[in-house]
Amino acid sequence: MGNNLEKNQNIKSSRGNWTGHLGFILAAAGSAIGLGNIWKFPYITGDYGGGAFVLVYLICVVIVGLPLMIAELMIGRHSQKNPVGAFRKLHYQKTPWQITGWLGIASGFLILSFYSVVAGWALAYIFKSLVGFSGTSQHIQGEFIALVTHPSASIWWHTVFMALTIAIVIGGVQKGIERWSKILMPALFLILLGLMLYGLFFTHGGIQALTFLFKPDFHKLSAEGMLSALGHAFFTLSLGMGAMLTYGSYMRKNESIVRDAITVSILDTVIALMAGVAIFSLVFHYGMKPGQSVGLIFKTLPVLFAQTGPLISVPFFILLTFAALTSAISLLEVVVSYFIDEKNWSRVKATLILGGAIYLTGILSAVSMWTISFRGKQQGFLDIFDFITTNYMLPIGGLLTCLFTAWVMKEANKIEELGSKGFLYKGLIFFLRYITPIAVLLVILNGLKLLPFVDYK
**164 vs 116, 123, 155, 401, 433, CA distance in Å?**
10, 11, 14, 31, 41
Report how far residue 261's alpha carbon sits from residue 248's, in angstroms, rounded to the nearest whole number.
10
Amino acid at 291: G
CA atoms within 13 A on the CB side of 422: 4
Report how far residue 82's alpha carbon sits from residue 57's, in angstroms, rounded to the nearest whole number.
28
**Binders of ligand PFF in range 355-374 (CB under 6 A):** none
Tell me if residue 133 falls in helix, strand or coil.
Answer: coil
DSSP 20-53: HHHHHHHHHHHHHSSHIIIIIHHHHHHHTTSHHH
**Binders of ligand PFF in range 236-275 (CB under 6 A):** 236, 238, 241, 243
Q: What is the closest distance, in whole angstroms, from the C-beta atom of residue 325 to ligand PFF in the complex?
A: 11
Does 390 contact ligand PFF by CB under 6 A?
A: no
Nearest to 325 by CA among 70, 132, 126: 126
Q: Which stretch binds ligand PFF (CB under 6 A): 3-11, 34-42, 216-224, 274-282?
A: 34-42
Q: What is the closest distance, in whole angstroms, from the C-beta atom of residue 226 to ligand PFF in the complex?
A: 19
| Burial of 206: CB neighbours in 10 Å, binned 0-12, 13-18, 19+ | buried
Position among 32, 84, 169, 258 found at the interface with ligand PFF (CB under 6 A): 32
Does 321 contact ligand PFF by CB under 6 A?
A: no
Q: What is the closest distance, in whole angstroms, from the C-beta atom of residue 131 to ligand PFF in the complex?
A: 27
Helices 18-32 and 174-202 pack at an angle, to 10 degrees, of: 60
Does 331 contact ligand PFF by CB under 6 A?
A: yes
Position among 21, 27, 29, 37 found at the interface with ligand PFF (CB under 6 A): 37
CA atoms within 13 A on the CB side of 106: 15
Q: What is the closest distance, in whole angstroms, from the C-beta atom of residue 450 to ligand PFF in the complex?
A: 26
Report whether 109 contacts 358 (CB < 8 A).
Answer: yes
Q: Which stretch binds ligand PFF (CB under 6 A): 33-41, 94-102, 132-140, 434-442?
A: 33-41
Q: Which stretch binds ligand PFF (CB under 6 A): 30-38, 69-77, 220-228, 361-369?
A: 30-38
By beta-carbon proximity to ligand PFF, the closer residue of 36 and 51 is 36
Does 111 contact ligand PFF by CB under 6 A?
A: yes
**167 vs 153, 346, 353, CA distance in Å?**
21, 14, 13
Q: Which stretch binds ligand PFF (CB under 6 A): 35-43, 181-189, 297-305, 313-321?
A: 35-43
- Give the count of beta carbons closer than 10 Å to the beta carbon of residue 383: 18
By beta-carbon proximity to ligand PFF, the closer residue of 37 and 391 is 37
Report whether 48 contacts 222 (CB < 8 A).
Answer: yes
Q: Which stretch binds ligand PFF (CB under 6 A): 26-34, 130-138, 280-288, 409-417?
A: 26-34
By beta-carbon proximity to ligand PFF, the closer residue of 237 and 301 is 237
Helices 310-343 and 296-308 pack at an angle, to 10 degrees, of: 140
Does 27 contact ligand PFF by CB under 6 A?
A: no
Q: What is the closest distance, in whole angstroms, from the C-beta atom of residue 274 to ligand PFF in the complex?
A: 14
By beta-carbon proximity to ligand PFF, the closer residue of 147 and 394 is 394
Does 288 contact ligand PFF by CB under 6 A?
A: no
By beta-carbon proximity to ligand PFF, the closer residue of 227 and 418 is 227
Report whether 93 contacts 410 (CB < 8 A).
Answer: no
Report how far residue 390's alpha carbon sits from residue 370's, in angstroms, rounded to the nearest whole number.
21
Report how far residue 329's alpha carbon sits from residue 31's, in angstroms, rounded to the nearest whole number.
8
Q: What is the closest distance, in whole angstroms, from the C-beta atom of residue 421 to ligand PFF in the complex?
A: 30
Does 235 contact ligand PFF by CB under 6 A?
A: yes
By beta-carbon proximity to ligand PFF, the closer residue of 126 and 288 is 126
Position among 27, 28, 30, 34 found at the interface with ligand PFF (CB under 6 A): 34
Tell me if residue 380 falls in helix, strand or coil.
Answer: strand
Q: Which stretch binds ligand PFF (CB under 6 A): 29-37, 84-92, 213-221, 275-283?
A: 29-37
Where do contacts with ligand PFF occur on this chain (CB under 6 A)?
31-32, 34-37, 108, 111, 235-236, 238, 241, 243, 327, 330-331
